[in-house]
């Protein structure tokens, strides 16, 4: 389970490291090396950016799911549950002091 999360994080780091400038440099190199057109290069960059966005969303979902599993396993309460219980305790305390 942690291995999957580690792989996901490493993939995200790799994809996120692909900045616009690096992508443009890659296209320039591809144009020279593989003789592709400007449009083909732009389509390639757009595809890479789209894949990066999808990867980030998937990684975020996986990370959130894994964190929730750990929270559940440890028996931790959510912030909402804590706030709700704190409010309830406050109400009970105010009733008992009257």
Helix %, strand %, coil % of the chain (to 5): 85, 0, 15
**Using an 8 Å Cβ cutoff, are 27 and 41 in contact?**
yes
41-48's contacts with Cβ under 8 Å and 24+ in sequence apart are 48/18, 48/23
Is this model's pTM higher than 0.95 or not?
no
Q: What is the pLDDT of residues 13-44, one digit of tens each?
A: 565 555 667 777 777 777 777 787 878 877 87
What span, in angstroms and rounded, lies between the C-alpha atoms of 23 and 19?
Answer: 6
pLDDT digit string, tens, across residues 62-79: 888 988 898 889 998 989
């Amino acid at each position: 389970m942690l291995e999957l999360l580690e792989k996901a994080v490493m993939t995200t780091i790799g994809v996120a490291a692909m900045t616009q400038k690096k992508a443009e440099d890659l296209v320039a190199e591809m144009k020279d090396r593989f003789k592709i057109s400007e449009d083909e290069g732009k389509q390639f960059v757009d595809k890479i950016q789209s894949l990066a966005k999808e990867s980030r969303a998937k990684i975020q979902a996986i990370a959130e799911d894994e964190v929730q599993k750990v929270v559940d396993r440890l028996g931790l309460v959510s912030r909402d549950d804590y706030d709700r219980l704190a409010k309830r305790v406050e109400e009970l305390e105010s009733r008992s002091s009257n």
